[in-house]
């Protein structure tokens, strides 16, 4: 991202032709290399491979009533990926992603993680 992008454009999710993303950033995002630093967080124990990807608190504040269910995403270890990313796509509405995350939080287990990754279409 270009320096001070949040200050200039506000806190917004990135889009396909986002002017805030530099040329190098486009390459990193296209190859998913922008996710590599998260591996360090996994090895440190701050993240797991599978888990909810919490919404930005700035975006949650914009939701009427500040939906308290979004807080439950922060109650468990965040993941590099989650079922919203496996079964959905980047344009899913926030509430649908939240539904997927709440299912994961309720039923999470190592074996379920393996099952999702071994057959994401089932």
pLDDT of 51-72, one tens digit each? 887 777 777 676 665 566 666 7
Q: Give pTM, 2 decimals.
A: 0.67
- Give, in order, the Cα–Cα distances in Å from 16 to each of 25, 41, 90, 103: 12, 26, 11, 29
How far apart, in whole angstroms, are the C-alpha atoms of residue 83 and residue 1? Answer: 27
- Which positions of the chain have pLDDT values less than 70? 60, 62-71, 89-90, 116-122
β-bridge mates for residue 50, sequence order:
81
Q: What is the pLDDT of residue 66?
A: 59
Q: What is the pLDDT of residue 44?
A: 93
Q: What is the pLDDT of residue 77?
A: 84
């Amino acid at each position: 991202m270009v320096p001070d992008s949040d200050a200039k454009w506000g806190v917004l999710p990135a889009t396909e032709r986002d002017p805030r993303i530099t040329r190098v950033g486009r390459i990193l995002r296209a190859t998913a290399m922008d996710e590599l630093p998260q591996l360090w967080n996994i090895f440190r124990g701050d993240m797991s491979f599978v888990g909810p990807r919490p919404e930005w608190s700035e975006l949650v504040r914009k939701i009427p009533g500040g939906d308290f269910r979004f807080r439950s995403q922060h109650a468990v270890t965040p993941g590099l990926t989650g079922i919203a990313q496996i079964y959905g796509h980047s344009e899913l509405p926030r509430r649908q992603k939240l539904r997927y995350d709440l299912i994961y939080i309720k039923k999470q287990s190592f074996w379920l993680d393996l099952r999702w990754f071994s057959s994401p279409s089932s």
